[in-house]
Structure 1
Amino acid sequence: MRRHANANDPLWYKDAVIYELPVKSFCDGNGDGIGDFRGLIEKLDYLENLGVTCLWLLPFFPSPLKDDGYDIADYTNVHPSYGTLEDFTKFLHAAHERGLRVAVELVLNHTSDQHPWFQRARSAAPGSPERDYYVWSDTDQKYKDARVIFPDGEESNWTWDPVAGAHYWHRFFHHQPDLNYDNPAVVREMLRVLDFWLDLGVDGFRLDAVPYLVEREGTSCENLSETHAVIGTIRAHVDAAGPGRMLLADANQLPADVRAYFGEGDECHMAYHFPVMPRMFMALHLEDRDPVVEVMERTPSIPETCQWALFLRNHDELTLETVTADERDYMYLAYSADQQGRLNAGIRRRLAPLVRNNRRRIELLNAILFSLPGTPVIYYGDEIGMGDNVYLGDRNGVRTPMHWNGDRNGGFSRADPPRLYSPVIMDAVYGYQAVNVEAQESDGASLLHWMRNMIRLRGLFRVFGRGSVEFLRPANRKVLAYVRSLEDDVVLCVANLSRTAQPAELDLTSFAGATPVEMLGYTEFPPITAAPYFLTLGPYGFYWFELQR
Structure 2
Amino acid sequence: EKFKDARIIFKDFETSNWAWDPVAKAYYWHRFYSHQPELNFDNPAVHEAVEKVCDFWLALGVDGLRLDAVPYLYEREDTSCENLPETHDYLRKLRAHVDVKFSNRMLLAEANQWPEDAAAYFGKGDESHMNFHFPLMPRMFMALQMEDRFPIIDILEQTPPIPDNCQWAMFLRNHDELTLEMVTDEERDYMYRVYASDPHARINLGIRRRLAPLLANSRRKIELLNTLLFSMPGTPIIYYGDEIGMGDNFYLGDRNGCRTPMQWSPDRNAGFSRANPQQLYLPITIDPEYHYEAVNVENQQKNLSSLLWWMRRVIAMRKNFKAFSRGSLEFLHPDNAKVLAFLRRYEKETIVVVVNLSRFAQSAELDLARFAGCVPMEVFSRNLFRPIKKSHYVITLGPHAYYWFALQPQTNGRRVSKRRVVPTINAPADLHTLLNDGQRALLEREILPNYIQTCRWFGSKARTLRELKVVEQPGVSSDADAARFWFVVVSYVDGPTETYALPVKIASGNAARAVSRSAPHAIIARLAGAEETILYDAVWDAKFRSQLFEAIVQRQIMKGHAGDLVGIAGKAMAADSSVAVDKSQVLGGEQSNSSMLFDNKFFLKIYRKLENGVNPDVEITRFLTERANFSNVPAFVGALEYRHEKSEPTVVCLLQSAAMSESDGWALTLDAVGRYYERVLGRKADLQNQTTPTGSLLDELIGGVYPEKAKLLGQRTGELHLALASRVDDRAFAPEPFNAMAQRSVYQTMRASLRRAFTLLEKKLPDLSAAFRDEAKEVIATEQEILAREKRLLDRRTNASKIRIHGDYHLGQVLYTGKDFIILDFEGEPARALGERKLKRSALRDVSGMMRSFQYAAYSALWQPAMRTEDMPFLERWADLWYRQMSSVFLQSYLKTTSGAIFVPQNPDDQQIMLEAYLLDKAVYEIGYELNHRPDWVVIPIRGIKHILRSA
Give the TM interval when normalised to the shorter protein: 0.7 to 0.9
SS at match of 1:196: helix
Displacement, 1:419? 2.2
Which residue is 1:212 aligned to? 72
Pick aligned residue for 1:397 from 246, 257, 262? 257
The answer on 1:179 being equivalent to 2:54 is no
Pick aligned residue for 2:20 from 160, 185, 200? 160
Deviations 1:417-461 (A, max 9, x none): 222221111122110122111111111111111001001001111
* Conserved 8 A contact 2:355-2:403: yes
Displacement, 1:267? 0.4
Q: Within 1, Cα distance between the matches of 2:283 and 2:303?
A: 26
* Conserved 8 A contact 1:389-1:398: yes
Which residue is 1:385 aligned to? 245
Pick aligned residue for 2:117 from 257, 263, 276? 257
- Give the fraction of aligned pairs with identical amino acids, expressed as a percent: 63
RMSD: 1.0
Displacement, 1:160? 2.1
SS at match of 2:310: helix
Q: Within 2, Cα distance between the matches of 1:184 and 1:399?
A: 35
Which residue is 2:671 aligned to? none
Letter in 2 for 1:536: T
Stretch moving more, 177-186 or 344-353: 177-186
* Conserved 8 A contact 1:198-1:241: no
SS at match of 1:415: coil
Deviations 1:459-518 (A, max 9, x none): 111111000000000000000000000011110000000000000110001111111100
Q: Within 1, Cα distance between the matches of 2:37 and 2:295?
A: 40
Letter in 2 for 1:144: K
Q: How many residues align?
A: 409
What is the correspondence of 1:62-141 to structure 2 with a 5 Å cutoff? 141=1
Pick aligned residue for 2:208 from 348, 363, 367? 348
Pick aligned residue for 1:430 from 267, 278, 290? 290
Deviations 1:384-431 (A, max 9, x none): 101000100011001111112222222222223222221111122110
Displacement, 1:162? 3.4
The answer on 1:334 being equivalent to 2:198 is no
* Conserved 8 A contact 2:112-2:182: yes
Q: Within 2, Cα distance between the matches of 1:469 and 1:314?
A: 24
Q: Within 2, Cα distance between the matches of 1:383 and 1:348?
A: 18
- Structure 1 residues 415 and 185, CA, compared in 2 at 3 Å: closer, same or farther? closer
Which residue is 1:416 aligned to? 276
* Conserved 8 A contact 1:388-1:397: yes
What is the correspondence of 1:2-81 to structure 2 with a 5 Å cutoff? none
The answer on 1:295 being equivalent to 2:155 is yes
Q: Within 2, Cα distance between the matches of 1:243 and 1:486?
A: 26
Q: Within 2, Cα distance between the matches of 1:168 and 1:418?
A: 35
* Conserved 8 A contact 1:282-1:331: yes
Letter in 1 for 2:355: A
Which residue is 1:267 aligned to? 127
Q: Within 1, Cα distance between the matches of 2:324 and 2:125?
A: 20
Q: Within 2, Cα distance between the matches of 1:467 and 1:247?
A: 22
More helix by share: 2
Which structure would you say has the larger RCO, counting Cα contacts within 8 Å and 6 or more residues apart? 1
The answer on 1:495 being equivalent to 2:355 is yes
Letter in 1 for 2:137: M
* Conserved 8 A contact 2:173-2:179: no
Which residue is 2:315 aligned to? 455
Letter in 1 for 2:240: Y
Deviations 1:497-547 (A, max 9, x none): 000000011000111111110001111111111011011100000000001
Q: Within 1, Cα distance between the matches of 2:155 and 2:75?
A: 29
Which residue is 2:93 aligned to? 233
Pick aligned residue for 2:50 from 182, 190, 204? 190
* Conserved 8 A contact 1:315-1:395: no
Gapped regions of structure 1 (runs ≥ 5): 1-140
Q: Within 1, Cα distance between the matches of 2:141 and 2:386?
A: 32
* Conserved 8 A contact 2:176-2:259: no
Which structure would you say has the larger Rg?
2
Pick aligned residue for 2:234 from 366, 374, 377? 374
Give runs of ≥4 in structure 1 deviating > 4 Å.
none
Deviations 1:202-239 (A, max 9, x none): 21110011101111000000000011101110011111
Q: Within 2, Cα distance between the matches of 1:202 and 1:428?
A: 37
Q: Within 1, Cα distance between the matches of 2:174 and 2:218?
A: 19
Which residue is 1:361 aligned to? 221
Pick aligned residue for 1:324 from 176, 184, 206? 184
Letter in 2 for 1:223: N
Which residue is 1:100 aligned to? none
Deviations 1:222-267 (A, max 9, x none): 0000111011100111111233111100111111111110000000
Q: Within 1, Cα distance between the matches of 2:53 and 2:298?
A: 39
Q: Which TM-score applies when normalising by structure 2?
A: 0.43
Q: Within 1, Cα distance between the matches of 2:22 and 2:287?
A: 46
